[in-house]
Structure 1
Amino acid sequence: MDFQLTDEQRVLRDGARGLLAGRFGRERVRAAVDDPALDRALWRELGEAGFFALRLPEAAGGVGLGLPEAVLVFEEAGRALLPGPLVACQLLAGVVDGVATGEKIVGLCDAAADPVLWEHPADCDELILVEGRAGGAYGSAAARVPHAPFASVDPLTPLARVTDVPRTAPLALDVPRLHREAALLTAAQQLGSAARTVEMAVAYAREREQFGAPVGSFQAIKHLCAQMLVRAEIARSAVYAASITGCVREVTGAKMLADHAAVRNARDCLQVHGGMGFTWEADVHLHLKRAWLRAERWGTAGEAEELLAAGLVASGGGL
């Protein structure tokens, strides 16, 4: 069986990378740090490019692709640190009118979490809440959802705590699938960040000189970068496999591996940068803070360990 990307998938990945490089480069990232309000024009451009309608059928105005292709696009979004409720808009493009085209921004919250956190509340037109992995789903106009500001570790992702969960508009959604796919797309973003910090570390190690030689020539730095690459590639294999199988245990494992790769790689990238890595001007801290935040969304490491352990017990200890 061939697990290599097809030519069409490579074109999709390269196209997404090119679009984001042109429309959300480093200057735009830095501008978003100072003003995290979402750029509606960029959001509509993403919609026109099929970012949100990627998996909608062509008859419904979508692109007609599958979850593996969505993972490739979200990996590129993670590389670029693209902000906004991307996962919510991708999953709800066929549920809420206007989301597929980028005209409307929708949020998605896990109402079973404590606290219930809402990303980019000031930018969302509607909010959809799901209750755990197998509960119901409810939709509300964003302005009607009681919420309070919540300190965010990621300057690109404003947060609010939902203080009262409205249950006035039940929606006929497949909540287990929604939860599973939200975890997988979040893992894809983490994978993109993990891969990007490998590139950042290697590039800096080649440029920075110490004792008359690039620091990348030192064995300790070589080992650090090699370990970063191994983490990213292990996570890549898990995320790509889970996008094909859709198995809840494989998605859970992929999210756990991608979270670990994103957080640990960002920390090691900072280590390679040395003192420079601790400055506000370096972008390393943005990847680390984003990785910390995503690691707590749609399944933490502790929850993954419990779920995977329960699966092993249920299967008699076999894989």
Structure 2
Amino acid sequence: MDFRLTEDQRDLRAGVRELLAGRYGREALRASLDTGTTVDRGLWRELGDAGFFALRLPEAEGGVGLGLPEAVLVFEEAGRALVPGPLVATHLAAGTVPGAAEGSAVVTAYDLADGLVAHLAESDAVLGADSGTPPPTGTATASVDPLTPLHRVAAAGVAGAAGVEGAAGTAPAPVYRREGALLTAALQLGSALRTVELAVAYAGEREQFGQPIGAFQAVKHLCAQMLVRAEVARTAVYAAAVTGVPAETAAAKLLADEAAVRNARDCLQVHGGMGFTWEADVHLHLKRAWVRAEQWCTAAECEELLAADLLAAELLTEDPPAADT
């Protein structure tokens, strides 16, 4: 199986990176922090016009007609740029919730544990809730990420949503939950790759004892470990996008979460005290990575899926008991 990107896929990724760099670069990110704008409706519509949310809808329905591998590339770039908002839920709602595909509607989902919903106040609909029902109300709660507001919704409301796995895990998990986990892993992958770039760039600029700190072995090792984590996660995410195997999606989410969190931490270490200041972007990647790690499929849930898959494979390969003679 060939996992190398095609020319069209490379062009798609480059086009999305260019779009986001022009529309949501560092200045726009900082403006969001200053104003507290967690969902920019203008940007949302521009993403809709560019086909971000309708990427996987058939062309006959007004979509782009591409697949999950292409969506992963697009979401990787969004994670790299730290674009805020319920991107995954709105993408999954395209073709189901009116306005989601075009970016005129913002859709969130019950994708966090403990009855927490991200961007609830800014959303027009909740993925999985009964159609025509307005978004439920919730109590605002503290969020480690300043651009991911959280609301706590009653556990009964979460568990009762149509087709959504509730806090108690009693309702069946639909296909879009698995796809949501993979797209969130792609966001984490983009963040992990971006923190590698930030660490390497800073290590080449910051001087100590008359030479760049990147010349020191300890810093080289940190950057190398960051790159290895990101590339391993990239391989897992791309493979899961092609195969669609649930266990591979769980593995991809685990690896991408680890890469995003640990790379951001190591990037902070490379930056030293500067990395902890509000002016640096490193802490924003770490805070977003922490939140995403709890979205769609937590580490514990991914581990349970992998354990069940391994157990099933072991049972299939066991030799049957010898017949009595």
* Same fold? TM cut 0.5: yes
Alignment of 1:125-274 (within 5 A): 125-129=124-128, 138-139=130-131, 141-143=133-135, 145-163=136-154, 165=157, 170=162, 175-274=173-272
Shift of 1:37: 3.6
Does structure 2 conserve the Cα–Cα contact (< 8 Å) formed by 1:87 and 1:185?
A: yes
* Distance in 2 (alpha carbons) for counterparts of 1:295 and 1:175: 18
Does structure 2 conserve the Cα–Cα contact (< 8 Å) formed by 1:128 and 1:140?
A: no
| Partner of residue 43, structure 1 | 44
AA in 2 matched with 1:128: L
Q: Could you tell me the percent identity over the aligned residues?
A: 66
| Partner of residue 2, structure 1 | 2
Alignment of 1:36-115 (within 5 A): 36-110=37-111, 114-115=113-114
- Choose which of 264, 274, 277 in structure 2 pairs with 1:276: 274
* Distance in 1 (alpha carbons) for counterparts of 2:96 and 2:228: 38
* Distance in 2 (alpha carbons) for counterparts of 1:78 and 1:257: 15
* Distance in 1 (alpha carbons) for counterparts of 2:284 and 2:258: 16
Please identify the structure whose Cα radius of gyration is greater: 2
* Distance in 2 (alpha carbons) for counterparts of 1:168 and 1:264: 35
* Distance in 1 (alpha carbons) for counterparts of 2:70 and 2:49: 17
| Partner of residue 22, structure 2 | 22
The alignment partner of 1:315 has SS state of: helix
After superposition, what is the alpha-carbon deviation per residue over 1:3-61, rounded to whole angstroms, capped at 9, x for unaligned? 21000000100000000000001111111123134111111000000000000000000
Does structure 2 conserve the Cα–Cα contact (< 8 Å) formed by 1:78 and 1:190?
A: yes
Equivalences, count = 308
Does structure 2 conserve the Cα–Cα contact (< 8 Å) formed by 1:121 and 1:142?
A: no
Runs of 4+ more than 6 Å apart: 166-169
Does structure 1 conserve the Cα–Cα contact (< 8 Å) formed by 2:115 and 2:158?
A: no
Does structure 2 conserve the Cα–Cα contact (< 8 Å) formed by 1:106 and 1:126?
A: yes
Shift of 1:188: 0.1
* Distance in 2 (alpha carbons) for counterparts of 1:140 and 1:301: 33
* Distance in 1 (alpha carbons) for counterparts of 2:241 and 2:130: 26
| Partner of residue 288, structure 1 | 286
* Distance in 2 (alpha carbons) for counterparts of 1:119 and 1:283: 21
* Distance in 2 (alpha carbons) for counterparts of 1:38 and 1:221: 37
* Distance in 2 (alpha carbons) for counterparts of 1:28 and 1:176: 35
* Distance in 1 (alpha carbons) for counterparts of 2:263 and 2:300: 20
Shift of 1:128: 2.3
Does structure 1 conserve the Cα–Cα contact (< 8 Å) formed by 2:185 and 2:253?
A: yes
Is there any run of 5+ residues in structure 2 with no aligned partner, and where? 165-171, 318-325
| Structure 1 residues 54 and 153: alpha-carbon distance in aligned structure 2, compared to 1, 3 A threshold | same
The alignment partner of 1:316 has SS state of: helix
After superposition, what is the alpha-carbon deviation per residue over 1:184-226, rounded to whole angstroms, capped at 9, x for unaligned? 0000000000000000000000000000000000011001100
Does structure 2 conserve the Cα–Cα contact (< 8 Å) formed by 1:54 and 1:62?
A: yes
Shift of 1:171: 7.2
* Distance in 1 (alpha carbons) for counterparts of 2:113 and 2:12: 37
AA in 2 matched with 1:192: G
| Structure 1 residues 4 and 318: alpha-carbon distance in aligned structure 2, compared to 1, 3 A threshold | farther
After superposition, what is the alpha-carbon deviation per residue over 1:56-83, rounded to whole angstroms, capped at 9, x for unaligned? 0000000000000000000000000000
AA in 1 matched with 2:87: L
AA in 2 matched with 1:294: R
Shift of 1:138: 3.7
| Structure 1 residues 318 and 266: alpha-carbon distance in aligned structure 2, compared to 1, 3 A threshold | farther
Does structure 2 conserve the Cα–Cα contact (< 8 Å) formed by 1:85 and 1:106?
A: yes
* Distance in 2 (alpha carbons) for counterparts of 1:306 and 1:120: 28
Does structure 2 conserve the Cα–Cα contact (< 8 Å) formed by 1:107 and 1:128?
A: yes
* Distance in 1 (alpha carbons) for counterparts of 2:209 and 2:310: 52
Does structure 2 conserve the Cα–Cα contact (< 8 Å) formed by 1:70 and 1:185?
A: yes
The alignment partner of 1:281 has SS state of: coil
| Partner of residue 169, structure 2 | none
Moved more, 13-22 or 303-312: 303-312
* Distance in 1 (alpha carbons) for counterparts of 2:186 and 2:158: 30
